[in-house]
Amino acid sequence: MSTIATKDGTQIYYKDWGAGQPIVFSHGWPLSADAWESQMLFLADRGYRCIAHDRRGHGRSSQPWNGNDMDTYADDLAELLEHLDLNNATLIGHSTGGGEVARYIGRHGAARVAKAALISAVPPLMLKTERNPDGLPIEVFDGIRTGSLANRAQLYQDIASGPFFGFNRPGAKISQGAIDSFWFQGMQAGHKNTFDCIKAFSETDFTEDLKKIDVPTLIVHGDDDQVVPITAAAIAAAKLVKNATLKIYPGAPHGLPDTHKDLLNADLLSFLKD
Protein backbone atom coordinates (compact mmCIF):
# COMPACT_ATOMS: atom_id res chain seq x y z
CA MET A 1 0.00 0.00 0.00
CA SER A 2 1.07 3.61 -0.58
CA THR A 3 1.50 5.43 2.73
CA ILE A 4 3.32 8.37 4.26
CA ALA A 5 4.32 8.81 7.89
CA THR A 6 3.35 12.17 9.36
CA LYS A 7 5.46 14.06 11.89
CA ASP A 8 3.68 12.36 14.79
CA GLY A 9 4.17 8.92 13.25
CA THR A 10 0.66 8.44 11.89
CA GLN A 11 0.53 6.34 8.74
CA ILE A 12 -1.65 7.95 6.06
CA TYR A 13 -2.80 5.70 3.21
CA TYR A 14 -3.40 7.20 -0.22
CA LYS A 15 -4.40 6.18 -3.73
CA ASP A 16 -2.57 7.69 -6.70
CA TRP A 17 -4.24 7.04 -10.06
CA GLY A 18 -3.37 8.34 -13.50
CA ALA A 19 -1.02 11.06 -14.69
CA GLY A 20 -1.34 14.76 -15.42
CA GLN A 21 -2.39 17.80 -13.43
CA PRO A 22 -3.01 16.62 -9.85
CA ILE A 23 -6.39 16.50 -8.16
CA VAL A 24 -6.43 15.74 -4.43
CA PHE A 25 -9.66 14.48 -2.85
CA SER A 26 -10.65 14.73 0.82
CA HIS A 27 -13.50 12.47 1.95
CA GLY A 28 -16.40 12.84 4.36
CA TRP A 29 -17.16 11.25 7.75
CA PRO A 30 -16.88 8.34 8.53
CA LEU A 31 -15.71 7.25 5.10
CA SER A 32 -12.43 6.78 3.24
CA ALA A 33 -10.79 7.50 -0.10
CA ASP A 34 -13.08 4.84 -1.59
CA ALA A 35 -15.94 7.35 -1.43
CA TRP A 36 -14.31 9.19 -4.35
CA GLU A 37 -13.75 6.25 -6.68
CA SER A 38 -16.39 7.32 -9.24
CA GLN A 39 -14.81 10.76 -9.61
CA MET A 40 -11.26 9.41 -9.58
CA LEU A 41 -11.92 6.83 -12.28
CA PHE A 42 -13.72 9.37 -14.45
CA LEU A 43 -11.08 12.11 -14.15
CA ALA A 44 -8.01 9.86 -14.25
CA ASP A 45 -9.37 8.41 -17.48
CA ARG A 46 -9.43 11.95 -18.86
CA GLY A 47 -5.81 12.86 -18.23
CA TYR A 48 -5.65 13.88 -14.59
CA ARG A 49 -3.62 12.49 -11.72
CA CYS A 50 -6.14 11.65 -8.99
CA ILE A 51 -4.98 11.27 -5.40
CA ALA A 52 -7.17 10.49 -2.40
CA HIS A 53 -6.06 9.72 1.14
CA ASP A 54 -7.74 8.06 4.08
CA ARG A 55 -7.92 10.70 6.81
CA ARG A 56 -6.06 9.74 9.99
CA GLY A 57 -8.15 7.24 11.91
CA HIS A 58 -10.21 6.36 8.84
CA GLY A 59 -9.98 3.62 6.22
CA ARG A 60 -6.54 2.07 5.93
CA SER A 61 -4.68 4.82 7.76
CA SER A 62 -3.53 4.21 11.32
CA GLN A 63 -5.73 5.11 14.28
CA PRO A 64 -3.91 7.54 16.59
CA TRP A 65 -5.56 8.45 19.87
CA ASN A 66 -4.82 12.14 19.38
CA GLY A 67 -4.93 14.64 16.53
CA ASN A 68 -8.52 14.01 15.47
CA ASP A 69 -9.18 17.67 14.76
CA MET A 70 -9.31 19.97 11.74
CA ASP A 71 -5.92 21.58 12.29
CA THR A 72 -4.20 18.19 12.30
CA TYR A 73 -6.26 16.92 9.36
CA ALA A 74 -5.13 19.97 7.37
CA ASP A 75 -1.52 19.47 8.44
CA ASP A 76 -1.68 15.82 7.33
CA LEU A 77 -2.96 16.98 3.95
CA ALA A 78 -0.08 19.45 3.75
CA GLU A 79 2.41 16.67 4.45
CA LEU A 80 0.87 14.55 1.70
CA LEU A 81 1.13 17.37 -0.84
CA GLU A 82 4.71 18.05 0.21
CA HIS A 83 5.69 14.38 0.14
CA LEU A 84 4.35 13.99 -3.40
CA ASP A 85 5.64 17.48 -4.32
CA LEU A 86 2.31 18.41 -5.87
CA ASN A 87 1.91 21.80 -7.52
CA ASN A 88 -0.90 23.43 -9.49
CA ALA A 89 -3.26 21.03 -7.73
CA THR A 90 -7.02 21.14 -7.44
CA LEU A 91 -8.27 20.28 -3.95
CA ILE A 92 -11.74 18.73 -3.77
CA GLY A 93 -13.47 18.06 -0.47
CA HIS A 94 -16.81 16.45 0.34
CA SER A 95 -18.58 17.19 3.62
CA THR A 96 -15.93 16.99 6.38
CA GLY A 97 -13.35 16.92 3.60
CA GLY A 98 -14.53 20.34 2.50
CA GLY A 99 -13.59 21.61 5.93
CA GLU A 100 -10.21 19.94 5.59
CA VAL A 101 -9.61 21.74 2.29
CA ALA A 102 -10.67 25.10 3.70
CA ARG A 103 -8.52 24.70 6.81
CA TYR A 104 -5.55 23.58 4.68
CA ILE A 105 -5.66 26.81 2.68
CA GLY A 106 -6.28 28.80 5.84
CA ARG A 107 -3.21 27.31 7.58
CA HIS A 108 -0.85 26.60 4.70
CA GLY A 109 -1.86 28.97 1.92
CA ALA A 110 -2.51 28.18 -1.73
CA ALA A 111 1.01 28.10 -3.15
CA ARG A 112 0.48 24.50 -4.31
CA VAL A 113 -3.18 25.02 -5.21
CA ALA A 114 -4.69 26.12 -8.53
CA LYS A 115 -8.37 25.56 -7.74
CA ALA A 116 -10.65 24.18 -5.05
CA ALA A 117 -14.06 22.51 -4.94
CA LEU A 118 -16.32 22.16 -1.91
CA ILE A 119 -18.97 19.46 -2.38
CA SER A 120 -21.81 19.18 0.18
CA ALA A 121 -19.23 20.70 2.48
CA VAL A 122 -19.53 21.68 6.15
CA PRO A 123 -17.99 25.22 6.01
CA PRO A 124 -18.44 27.79 7.26
CA LEU A 125 -20.02 26.29 10.43
CA MET A 126 -22.53 23.52 11.02
CA LEU A 127 -23.36 24.33 14.65
CA LYS A 128 -26.16 26.73 15.45
CA THR A 129 -24.95 29.76 17.40
CA GLU A 130 -26.13 33.32 17.92
CA ARG A 131 -24.03 34.35 14.92
CA ASN A 132 -25.02 31.26 12.93
CA PRO A 133 -28.79 30.90 13.43
CA ASP A 134 -29.20 28.64 10.37
CA GLY A 135 -26.92 25.97 11.82
CA LEU A 136 -28.01 22.76 13.52
CA PRO A 137 -28.51 22.66 17.30
CA ILE A 138 -25.90 20.92 19.43
CA GLU A 139 -28.51 18.28 20.30
CA VAL A 140 -28.23 16.93 16.73
CA PHE A 141 -24.54 16.21 17.18
CA ASP A 142 -25.00 14.95 20.71
CA GLY A 143 -27.46 12.49 19.22
CA ILE A 144 -24.85 11.28 16.74
CA ARG A 145 -22.37 10.86 19.58
CA THR A 146 -24.92 8.91 21.62
CA GLY A 147 -25.67 6.69 18.64
CA SER A 148 -21.98 6.12 18.03
CA LEU A 149 -21.35 5.00 21.59
CA ALA A 150 -24.47 2.86 21.75
CA ASN A 151 -24.04 1.00 18.45
CA ARG A 152 -22.02 2.71 15.78
CA ALA A 153 -22.56 -0.13 13.30
CA GLN A 154 -26.30 0.51 13.46
CA LEU A 155 -25.77 4.27 13.36
CA TYR A 156 -23.93 3.98 10.05
CA GLN A 157 -26.66 1.72 8.66
CA ASP A 158 -29.31 4.23 9.70
CA ILE A 159 -27.47 7.21 8.22
CA ALA A 160 -26.77 5.46 4.92
CA SER A 161 -30.24 3.99 4.52
CA GLY A 162 -31.86 7.31 5.39
CA PRO A 163 -30.65 10.90 5.08
CA PHE A 164 -27.17 10.50 3.54
CA PHE A 165 -28.35 9.29 0.14
CA GLY A 166 -31.91 10.56 0.52
CA PHE A 167 -33.22 6.99 0.58
CA ASN A 168 -35.83 8.09 3.12
CA ARG A 169 -37.55 10.28 0.55
CA PRO A 170 -40.73 9.09 -1.20
CA GLY A 171 -39.97 7.36 -4.46
CA ALA A 172 -36.24 7.09 -3.80
CA LYS A 173 -34.44 4.32 -5.65
CA ILE A 174 -32.66 2.55 -2.82
CA SER A 175 -29.25 0.99 -3.45
CA GLN A 176 -28.30 -1.66 -0.93
CA GLY A 177 -24.82 -1.62 -2.40
CA ALA A 178 -24.39 2.07 -1.56
CA ILE A 179 -25.62 1.43 1.98
CA ASP A 180 -23.26 -1.51 2.42
CA SER A 181 -20.30 0.47 1.06
CA PHE A 182 -20.96 3.36 3.46
CA TRP A 183 -21.24 0.91 6.37
CA PHE A 184 -18.07 -0.95 5.42
CA GLN A 185 -16.03 2.24 5.05
CA GLY A 186 -17.31 3.52 8.38
CA MET A 187 -16.50 0.30 10.20
CA GLN A 188 -12.92 0.37 8.86
CA ALA A 189 -12.39 3.59 10.78
CA GLY A 190 -11.37 3.79 14.43
CA HIS A 191 -14.13 4.23 17.00
CA LYS A 192 -12.27 6.97 18.90
CA ASN A 193 -11.30 8.71 15.66
CA THR A 194 -14.80 8.88 14.24
CA PHE A 195 -16.19 9.92 17.63
CA ASP A 196 -13.76 12.82 17.92
CA CYS A 197 -14.40 13.78 14.30
CA ILE A 198 -18.04 14.55 15.10
CA LYS A 199 -16.87 17.55 17.12
CA ALA A 200 -14.34 18.48 14.44
CA PHE A 201 -16.84 18.63 11.59
CA SER A 202 -19.67 20.21 13.56
CA GLU A 203 -18.02 22.79 15.81
CA THR A 204 -15.08 24.06 13.75
CA ASP A 205 -15.65 27.57 12.41
CA PHE A 206 -14.13 27.91 8.93
CA THR A 207 -15.21 31.51 8.33
CA GLU A 208 -11.70 32.97 8.36
CA ASP A 209 -10.36 30.06 6.27
CA LEU A 210 -12.94 30.70 3.56
CA LYS A 211 -12.00 34.37 3.46
CA LYS A 212 -8.38 33.36 2.72
CA ILE A 213 -9.27 31.24 -0.32
CA ASP A 214 -8.14 33.23 -3.34
CA VAL A 215 -8.22 30.56 -6.06
CA PRO A 216 -11.23 29.74 -8.29
CA THR A 217 -13.59 27.67 -6.16
CA LEU A 218 -16.56 25.54 -7.17
CA ILE A 219 -19.20 25.07 -4.49
CA VAL A 220 -21.76 22.30 -5.12
CA HIS A 221 -24.63 21.42 -2.81
CA GLY A 222 -27.97 19.68 -3.01
CA ASP A 223 -30.99 21.64 -1.89
CA ASP A 224 -32.36 18.50 -0.20
CA ASP A 225 -29.24 17.86 1.88
CA GLN A 226 -30.56 16.51 5.19
CA VAL A 227 -27.09 16.15 6.72
CA VAL A 228 -25.47 19.53 5.98
CA PRO A 229 -28.33 21.97 5.30
CA ILE A 230 -27.55 24.21 2.35
CA THR A 231 -28.38 27.60 3.90
CA ALA A 232 -25.76 27.48 6.64
CA ALA A 233 -23.25 25.77 4.34
CA ALA A 234 -22.95 26.42 0.61
CA ILE A 235 -25.12 29.56 0.53
CA ALA A 236 -23.08 31.14 3.32
CA ALA A 237 -19.74 29.83 2.01
CA ALA A 238 -20.30 31.27 -1.46
CA LYS A 239 -20.59 34.73 0.11
CA LEU A 240 -17.23 34.36 1.87
CA VAL A 241 -15.06 32.90 -0.90
CA LYS A 242 -13.83 35.57 -3.31
CA ASN A 243 -13.82 33.53 -6.52
CA ALA A 244 -16.71 31.19 -5.85
CA THR A 245 -19.09 29.61 -8.32
CA LEU A 246 -22.15 28.13 -6.61
CA LYS A 247 -24.05 25.25 -8.20
CA ILE A 248 -27.19 23.97 -6.52
CA TYR A 249 -28.49 20.54 -7.48
CA PRO A 250 -32.30 20.43 -7.12
CA GLY A 251 -33.43 17.54 -4.98
CA ALA A 252 -29.92 16.24 -4.41
CA PRO A 253 -28.99 14.67 -1.04
CA HIS A 254 -25.76 14.88 0.92
CA GLY A 255 -24.21 11.89 -0.83
CA LEU A 256 -24.47 13.43 -4.29
CA PRO A 257 -21.02 12.20 -5.42
CA ASP A 258 -22.81 8.84 -5.69
CA THR A 259 -26.44 9.73 -6.40
CA HIS A 260 -25.58 12.49 -8.91
CA LYS A 261 -22.15 11.30 -9.99
CA ASP A 262 -22.66 11.85 -13.72
CA LEU A 263 -23.70 15.46 -13.19
CA LEU A 264 -20.95 16.12 -10.65
CA ASN A 265 -18.29 14.48 -12.81
CA ALA A 266 -19.26 16.64 -15.78
CA ASP A 267 -19.26 19.80 -13.65
CA LEU A 268 -15.87 18.97 -12.16
CA LEU A 269 -14.38 18.30 -15.58
CA SER A 270 -15.72 21.58 -16.91
CA PHE A 271 -14.39 23.42 -13.85
CA LEU A 272 -10.96 21.84 -14.26
CA LYS A 273 -10.78 22.81 -17.93
CA ASP A 274 -11.87 26.44 -17.47
Task: Give residues with Cβ within 8 angstroms of 177, minimum separation 6.
Answer: none
Catalytic-labelled residue, pool 34, 54, 225, 267: 225
- Residues near 201 by beta carbon (within 8 Å), at least 6 away in sequence: 29, 70, 95, 96, 99, 122, 126
Question: Is-catalytic flag, 2?
Answer: no
| Distance in angstroms (rounded) separating the CA atoms of residues 232 and 228 | 8
- Is 95 among the catalytic positions? yes
Sheet holding 113-119, edge to edge: 3-5, 11-17, 48-53, 21-26, 89-94, 113-119, 217-222, 244-249
Which one from 27, 94, 221, 254 is the annotated catalytic residue? 254
State the catalytic residue, choosing from 95, 120, 148, 161: 95
Known active-site residue 202: no
Ranges of H-type helices in 119-175: 138-159
Which residues on neighbouring strands pair with residue 51, listed in sequence order? 16, 24
198 within 8 A of 143, measured Cβ to Cβ: no
The catalytic residue positions are 95, 225, 254
